[in-house]
Copies of this chain bind each other. A is one copy, B any other.
């Protein structure tokens, strides 16, 4: 004998969340039923709204419920002429947290991967190319990850930049601040050496 049918259905539905298995889903549903039904109903409403109303910013492709996201609406950011190309919307949050970048973003929502059938069109690189063509952009910072697919995507976009004579730069890879040399993996160390600067 298990939980009642409705509770089992709810447990199964909760496992669509990443990192939530049947055991933690059961704990979640019991916790909501016992202590926070109001929170559960609120979650259900907000979740439905987010799933149906959030789409992509027509300029930078990040997630937003508006036509254009807040960052792209900011004219000061547009005026810098700098675009940072990232893989995921969460990367924007990470860069914004540093408070050091004042340009715009472009979100690819993935990386080029011919084997998985992910083409430049899937990443909306044509939209990015149109923006480069417009002539308002002077530098493209490529902040895709340092995986094979991330490198290939960066290279692909840098080729497009060349076509329009726009400077493209890649963010630096090396030893993280506070990281110890003997704990860092080999390929990071190679990057750190090849990317060394003169004092």
Contacts and interface: CB of A to CB of B under 8 A. Distances in A.
Contacts of A33: 50-51, 54, 63
B39 A28 contact: no
A100 interface: no
Contacts of A51: 32-33, 37, 40-41, 44
17 contacts: A3-B63, A4-B54, A4-B65, A9-B50, A10-B47, A13-B43, A14-B47, A16-B40, A16-B42, A16-B43, A17-B28, A27-B90, A30-B88, A37-B51, A40-B50, A41-B52, A44-B45
Interface of A, helix, strand, loop or mixed by DSSP? helix
Contact of A93 (B2, B36, B50, B88): B2
Contact of A109 (B16, B34, B39, B45): B34
Nearest to A49: B6
Contacts of A52: 37, 41
A5 B31 CA distance: 27
Interface of A: 1-7, 9-10, 13-14, 16-20, 24, 26-34, 36-37, 39-54, 63-66, 69-71, 88-90, 93, 96, 109
A29 B47 CA distance: 8
Contact of A90 (B26, B32, B48, B96): B26
Given A26-B90, A30-B88, A16 B4 contact: no
